Amino acid sequence: MNTVENQELVDYRLPLFLSYPIKRCFIACSPLLEEIDISSYFAWVAHVTVDGETGREARECNYD
């Protein structure tokens, strides 16, 4: 599993993650801090989990 919070981390982490010899890839977008585009990785990803921030100062997560 790999965690990404914003597009900068998607562009940096996912190519590295997908270069590993992993049979089933899982991505956790948590906490999702901004709109991201992971559509180019769908062919390699088995599951995506999305979650917002937690705690008293948590910002609202827009799941759209």
In a domain, 64, yes or no: no
Per-residue pLDDT tens over the stretch 26-56 = 999 988 888 999 999 989 999 999 988 888 9
Number of domains the chain is built from: 1
What Cα–Cα distance (Å) separates residue 30 from each residue in 21, 23, 41, 49? 23, 22, 17, 8
Predicted TM-score of the model (pTM) = 0.78
**17, part of any domain:** yes
Which domain, by its residues, includes 36?
Answer: 2-50
Please check whether residue 11 lies inside any domain of the structure. Answer: yes
User: Do the strands 25-29 and 2-3 form a parallel or antiparallel pair, or are they unpaired?
Assistant: parallel
pLDDT at 58 over 90: no
